[in-house]
Structure 1
Amino acid sequence: MPLRAYIDNEEIISIDQDEKQWDDLKKRLKSKECVLTLPCCKEEGFLRTSSKGLRHFVHAKSDNTCDWKPESPEHLRAKIEIIEACKENGWKAIPEFSETNWRADVLAIQNEKRIAFEVQWSRQTFEDTKFRQDRYKESNVRGCWFFRTAPKELREYDEHLKADKEIPAFKIFKDENSNIIAQLKQTQLPLRTLVDSLLKRRLKFCEHIRLKPKQEVTIVFFETSCWKCHKPQHLWTVEQNLVTVCNQDFYLMGSMWDNDDIDKSPKIYEAVKQFLQTETGKNLKIGQLKKRYSKTVHDSYLSHGCFYCDSIFGDWFLNTEKMNGQNNPNSLRHKVEIEFGTTKEEGQHWCYSDIGQFCE
């Protein structure tokens, strides 16, 4: 269903026409005052309105040799969302625009900048995607792809799409209300909003993910006992519910036998000590966090230890203890706001921000 045609060499976009303009065009074509041609093949076409009210153009002859492929209603809906977002941002949006060796679903133009938006509701191989992207690049056009099912080379193990600066690609799907939705990791937003964000530079490719500097964390205090003196006491761990600057999940890998574990963070330890001064925490028996010698690693490292005999609680042993503590509904939970400063890890992603604060 093409959305673009020419009437007496004047470009017409179907969705730009109101009801009166559409009816006038019908009358002019019926009386043969003008001729409608389609840019894909330069052949004659005519007007049509779908059962859902979508105005579009169709080829006049069933035996037409044009290579135009039928588009699904979802594909058309996505193209319209892209066009409307472009126009709202002051870009000229041309559907089904073609040059010598490529044709874009929607070409957005602003001054010297050109962006080709491609909707792939049906499957397409990675080789075809890269081939078409390279052709856009040769024409100084930036290609942007929206896939219902992306090639496996563009997908992560969890089916989210990889962030690739050379081939910007985003997952789209139809929700229960037939809206076209785009997905950025845990964030879902209307396709029009995503395109709007791209054009407003609210979406940025980043090489690193950065922890939001100040946020609420949950410190979990759980029961344990010393392996040496066997006396009962408590330990703490931090729930992994942290988020990045762009509000994506941030999982700090707990490393053993060094100081990088978030549970050993000076800010977290200070919050633990303050909690032990409160009415709720004053009766908890918790050993100091300090350097102790480990026979396992033949070295000293920052470690938890027994409140009574100061024996080291090895990181390897505590891995299971901490997981059990987090899963135990009887564990004591304390929420506190922590200022982390700058904490980041490698992680290519499309960073989305309404307020212009990105991971880098």
Structure 2
Amino acid sequence: MADKITHHYSQIHQFEPLLPQRKLDVLQDQALEVAEKSSRLGGGIHSSTISSIQGLVRSMNSYYSNRIEGQSTHPANIERALVQDFSDMPSTAKLQRIAIAYINAEKELEKIGGLGLENTLRSSILLEAHRALYGRLLPEDRTTEEGRVIEPGLVRQENVTVGRHDPPLWTSVPDFLKRMDQIYAQPASSNQSLIRVACAHQRMMWVHPFLDGNGRAVRLQTHLALLPLTKGLWSMNRGLARQRDDYYAYLAAADQPRQGDLDGRGNLSEKTLWEWCQWFIGIANDQVGFMEKMLNLSEMRRHIEALIFFRASQDKAIRKEAIAPLYHLYLAGPTKRGDFLQMTGLGERTARSLLSRLLETGLVMSDGHKSPVQFAFPLDSLQFLLPNLYPEAAIINH
């Protein structure tokens, strides 16, 4: 982080191109496929079930974004922290606080009015994302290894070096952010928006506006910009974290200078920016395709059956008669307790015992003793209900 380095960027032309110009039809076709899959996602599922999945995805977003930074805690610790149950171990409690801050920052950003790129890709939103995250952390939780306390939403006021990359002079950062606003914060069609989000993600990381927390802030902004596509039902962070080495490699490659006369007209390589976009869109396609399969109605029926048969073999209070009413909750949403009991086809006492056990194990949730019941996704059920979606949650947390 020394100012003695003399080859920092200072002119906005030095990070052109901001969008690839070659083989755009290939990228647009790939982006359109993602948009088409996303439009089908969640069909036939009740909004309350959708809301439960969105809550799970928020936890995943936090876990995977922090994992990319090497600061993740077990998903079970995140679940405990959501109900204010923090570890007695200071190191674990710190990671829990960071995880919860990320989740709540994401919720706050999602309330921003207008989800078009002209709003979500503004650099002011990136600053807001950084503030929303770091402003929720205690000073000791936002102190770097070098002992620097990171100020929420504050653009860096010194020069930095990131690996082999020397980001722009700190005095030039506002100019670079303004230029990105001119290019990225514009309305875009469905087959162009994903390309713009990908480019904005890479170039914002290139500018490195903050002393620390750039990756998390950029991923928060990316989540917000992609929300019309994801509907909060699939996680870009999951895909990036599962290919973390490639993620960093493609980001770094797109930092490289132009590689000859056939590599665009800007100062940086258009070829590697295009390759980053193709990789990023491919990750999005994998994630939405995976979740589309997970939420398929017939698939979910089989998943519920597998879960209940397994639970019944371990717990006498769980019975196969729970399958039909649980699937009903998944599709139809909150249901009166009496109706749920009837759907089991069991005697009242046995049915009540079954429902009580489903509530205790978290497969069913309710706001009160007399309130309707609805479908839920407890962590220990995910290996059956949404297999391989969040495999870390199935690992025993010691």
Higher-Rg structure is: 1
- Structure having the larger proportion of residues in helix: 2
Is the TM value for this pair above 0.5?
A: no
**Larger relative contact order (CA 8 Å, sep ≥ 6):** 2
* TM-score w.r.t. length of structure 1: 0.28
* TM-score w.r.t. length of structure 2: 0.26
